[in-house]
Structure 1
Amino acid sequence: MDFPFLWQTVQTLSAGIPLTLLLATLSVSIGVVIAITIAATRLWGPRALQQAAKFYVFVFRGTPLLVQMFLIYYGLGQFEAVRSSFLWPVLREPFWCAILALSLNTGAYGSEIVRGGLQSVGHGQREAAMACGMSPWLAFRRIVLPQAVRQALPAYGNELILLCKATSLASMITLMEITGLAAKLISDTYRVIEVFAAAGAIYLAINFVLTRLVAFADHRLTAHLRPVATGKPAPDTRLTGAKP
């Protein structure tokens, strides 16, 4: 393996890191909102909305992300109503099509994780909060949601890692993120091993940082579950005159 070329490849592919991180950050931000909305709808929404939410989750979990991205990028432009709508300036751009596909996909998977977290919170806590004078929305925001986030965080961390890796599919709709630059470099140099090894190393580094951030958040949110340290020194009684 040509290590000088490998290092040069890493530097070349690093130019795609900002776009990869931007895709992941925006998709996660929108996907979290979708996930919470869909999960709450499936648990407490009207029956018609529950069925619509179930259908949305079924479709986006049951079809490949690449197919969804192609349908959004290539398929929506086939409809005259879409091309003449106010959304067309956004939907004709590959960046926003990738964001839309990634957000809808991670929102479907994340909704199941969030729903499990919400169901782990005892119903009696909501009733107690409302008995104390809280509105249903306030009880959800201050009592149910914080506990659900703590329960769902480990599983949602896996979804964040999968989403970060899924951004590589954006190269299929002409976006030059890490994988797109790697494909272009391979077509120029025909050196597959070095280029993909460098791309894999970059993704590995990004996901390592992401896993550490999730672990830190989980550590902070579960401080009350850690065992209390024992063997504390006895208090100093010299100033008070109390007997030890």
Structure 2
Amino acid sequence: MKMIDTVPAAAEKVRRGFAHVDTWIFDLDNTLYPHEAQLWPQVDERITLFVCDFFGMDGLSARALQKYYYHRYGTTLRGLMVEQGIDPRDFLDFAHSIDYSLLAPDPDLAAAIGALPGRKLILTNGSRGHAEAVAERLGIGAHFEDIFDIADAGFVPKPEPATYASFLARHGIDASRAAMFEDLAKNLAEPHRLGMTTVLVLPKTPDPFRELHEQEEVTASHIEYMTRDLAGFLLRDIGLFGADAGR
């Protein structure tokens, strides 16, 4: 598969394009903002510190346990809830007590999202407060109808099917007329199965704070498009892959 920002993820597939889309759904972390803003490393470090304090263990051990929970349960929070019965709100308040000052306004992204026809929503495994802070800093908050956070999902994270089902039901969304933008390929499998047009958002430059497999190009039936420039994709490529895409 050839990866060019203006080419669909798999040229041989029949693609739905975007002309039919009336609902635009965006993940938050590492999708709507670049890793250079240094937000996720702060959250990641805070999670490690939470695990450290909760279990009274050293940093290396806490880090290992954190990643065990992440890989087994989808999020560290879910693992701590299932195995330790923690209060998720305490965890989220602690994890998202970060410095947002390095996140600059993104007028290109704001213009691109604002120009999209129809509804726009954020679907995140993070907290509403965190999503609101990010959207405010980026200058895109006014364009979104609502935020569906981990609490709205009953603290069941993506990619669990129940999370997408409750999100769609809450907002009365026809999945066949929606597009989903995500930085994790695994989180697009269920949206694709439900009938959404899927876009994998990859970093422009390698992110040293994330696992390599989470930044790689993905050839899979549930990934219809890929981009390393979200604003550019929304401004240029939505039209390019519009009504005639895939015909």
TM-score, scaled relative to structure 2: 0.28
Q: Going by fraction, where is helix more abundant, 1 or 2?
A: 1
Larger Rg: 1
TM-score, scaled relative to structure 1: 0.28
